[in-house]
């Protein structure tokens, strides 16, 4: 397969090491993932509150968290060298295997989250005597967001440190 100009540009973006210091250690990557999770929860929660609740006050929270969320997403993609964003033809065999592992683990985690969400919606309905449908849509939206972004979080936590030789070769 031949690579396209788009493939080469995306590869260059995902492998740009100028921000590498921000995710150079496992502790920093865990912090980035934690911050990303927090911003995702705030943003998704605010969106759910805006759509399913009264008023548009939470829309301000969406506007506030959007820029840092996008920056953190870019940093996590950079830390994985585009593992989830690049086309398969731009990845080597090791990266393809790692991408499959990340996706499989993400789906298992999301499965259990979906089970917990279903149990939570049922419990909410039982405890409040509200119909289940009152909780199902917001819960499903939340689980959909997590299902969508979970592979990035897992990849960010699983990425290995650059070997000193690789870093020296790229310099």
For 164, phi then psi, to 5°, come to -60, -35
Asked if the model's pLDDT at residue 169 lies above 80, the reply is no
Per domain, the residue ranges of the chain are 7-81+92-170
**83-107 pLDDT tens trace:** 999 999 999 999 999 999 999 999 9
Distance CA 76, CA 95 (A): 16
pLDDT over threshold 60, residue 158: yes
Residue listed under structure tokens 């405890």: 127
pLDDT attached to residue 27? 94
Q: What percent of the chain has pLDDT over 70?
A: 94
Q: How far are the Cα atoms of 8, 93, 118, 124, 142 from residue 131, in angstroms, in the given order? A: 52, 49, 13, 9, 19
Examine the pLDDT at 82 and tell me if it is beyond 70: yes
Average pLDDT, stretch 142-150? 94
Average pLDDT, the chain: 89
What is the structure's pLDDT at 171? 52
What integer pLDDT is reported at residue 165 of this predicted model? 45
Give the DSSP per-residue string, 26-86: HHHHHHHHHHHHHHHHHHHHHHHHHHHSSSSTHHHHHHHHHHHHHHHHHHHHHHTTTTTTS
Residue 36 has pLDDT above 60, yes or no: yes
């Amino acid at each position: 397969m031949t690579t396209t100009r788009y493939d080469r540009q995306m590869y260059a973006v995902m492998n740009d090491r100028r921000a590498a210091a921000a995710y150079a250690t496992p502790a920093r990557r865990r912090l980035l993932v934690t911050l990303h999770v927090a911003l995702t929860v705030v943003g998704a929660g605010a969106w759910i509150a805006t759509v399913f609740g009264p008023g548009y006050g939470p829309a301000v929270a969406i506007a506030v968290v959007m820029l840092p969320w996008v920056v953190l997403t870019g940093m996590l993609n950079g830390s994985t060298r585009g593992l989830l964003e690049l086309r398969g033809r731009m990845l080597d065999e090791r990266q393809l295997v790692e991408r499959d592992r990340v996706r499989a683990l993400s789906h298992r985690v999301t499965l259990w989250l979906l089970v917990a969400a279903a149990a939570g919606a049922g419990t909410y309905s039982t405890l409040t005597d509200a119909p289940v449908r009152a909780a199902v849509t917001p819960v499903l939206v939340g689980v959909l967001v997590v299902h969508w972004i979970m592979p990035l979080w897992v990849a960010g936590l699983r990425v290995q440190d650059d070997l000193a030789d690789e870093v020296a070769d790229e310099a």
